[in-house]
Amino acid sequence: MGKAHVLVTRPSHQSENLSCLIEALNGVAVRFPTLAIAPVDDSRQIQNTLAQLEKYHWLVFISANAVTMHGYYSDSDKIKKFKSTRIAAIGKATKDALIVAGLPVDLVPESAYNSEALLAMPEMQDIKEQRFLIVRGQGGLEVLANTLRSRGANVDYLDVYKRIIPPFDCTQLSLLIKQSKLDVVTITSGEALQNLLIMLEKKYHQLLLEIPLVVVSERIRQLAAEIGFKKIAVTNSPSDNAILETVIMCVTGGIEWQS
């Protein structure tokens, strides 16, 4: 991959694996987190809900952050294992976080890791009058809850974290863009992409839109296209290895961009 400069925008606590993969191929990982994960301001609702988990048939964890957020596993707030409550994870990273936390994982999509894949599973079809608790960050997508409700389920949310723009210094990033030395931008959420534009000075936006962009879903691709990005590649999955493979294709000319 040579000395290609690749922008890694994952939150700081989730960026090292991808950065190391890039550096192992002699690329330059430009760490610039455009999202930070913080606990919600009021933890009383979390404590109240955790005390009533036995009334739910399913707990659905939307992300690894939903599992690992501070405060979950203190002795007083620990999620108990109820025989009647099953746990679903939206993807592999979420499943792994649940296992580390000592919680059983009853359901996880086998291939695609998103709401649609979870909803397509046999266990999610006949769910009339079942009670679901979706554990997530504030302001998440509504697709999962809306579909579950349309199938007759009762759905509640438990927001355990919020996404914020972290403290940042754009000096290095601006210089790379100005000198045409930034080769690929990687983005793993729509909010991360929007934050990047907020954080970067407007005078560099047009140059940014010309740089190959690697995204992890069709939904983010559509958002990027609406913003004006010219070269957008979608990975096969949201995993770091899939992102790396797509980055390599961008750098080596393995993608034919539409003009």
CATH topology agreement for domains 5-35+166-252 and 38-163: yes
d(CA 49, CA 51): 5
According to CATH, the topology of domain 38-163 is: Rossmann fold (3.40.50)
User: With 80 as the cut, is the pLDDT of residue 8 above it?
Assistant: yes
The β-bridge relationship of strands 36-39 and 154-164 is antiparallel
Three-state DSSP at 227 gives helix
In b/e form, how buried is each residue of 42-58, taking b as 16+ CB within 10 angstroms? Answer: eeeebeebbeebeebbb
Domain boundaries, the chain: 5-35+166-252, 38-163
d(CA 122, CA 151): 13
Please tell me the predicted confidence (pLDDT) of residue 165: 95
Please state whether the predicted TM-score (pTM) of the whole model is above 0.85: no
Other beta carbons less than 10 A from residue 224's beta carbon:
21
d(CA 161, CA 41): 9
Segment 113-122 mean pLDDT: 88
Quick one: tokens of 73?
């596993």
How far, in Å, are 64, 65, 160, 179 from residue 61 at the CA level?
Answer: 8, 9, 11, 42
In b/e form, how buried is each residue of 225-249, taking b as 16+ CB within 10 angstroms? Answer: eebebebbbbbebbbbeebbbbbbb
Tally of CA atoms within 13 A in the half-sphere of 142 that contains its CB? 4
How far, in Å, are 88, 108, 143, 174 from residue 57 at the CA level?
Answer: 11, 16, 19, 50
Please tell me the predicted confidence (pLDDT) of residue 129: 93
Segment 105-134 mean pLDDT: 90
| Architecture in CATH for domain 5-35+166-252 | 3-Layer(aba) Sandwich (3.40)
Share of the chain above pLDDT 90, in %: 64
d(CA 201, CA 196): 10
pLDDT per residue over 31-83, tens digit each?
999 999 888 887 788 888 888 888 999 999 998 888 887 555 444 555 666 66
pLDDT per residue over 144-201, tens digit each?
999 999 999 999 999 988 889 999 999 999 999 999 999 999 999 999 999 999 999 9
Q: How far from the centroid of its chain's Cα atoms is residue 44's Cα?
A: 25
Look up residue 55 and give its amino acid: K
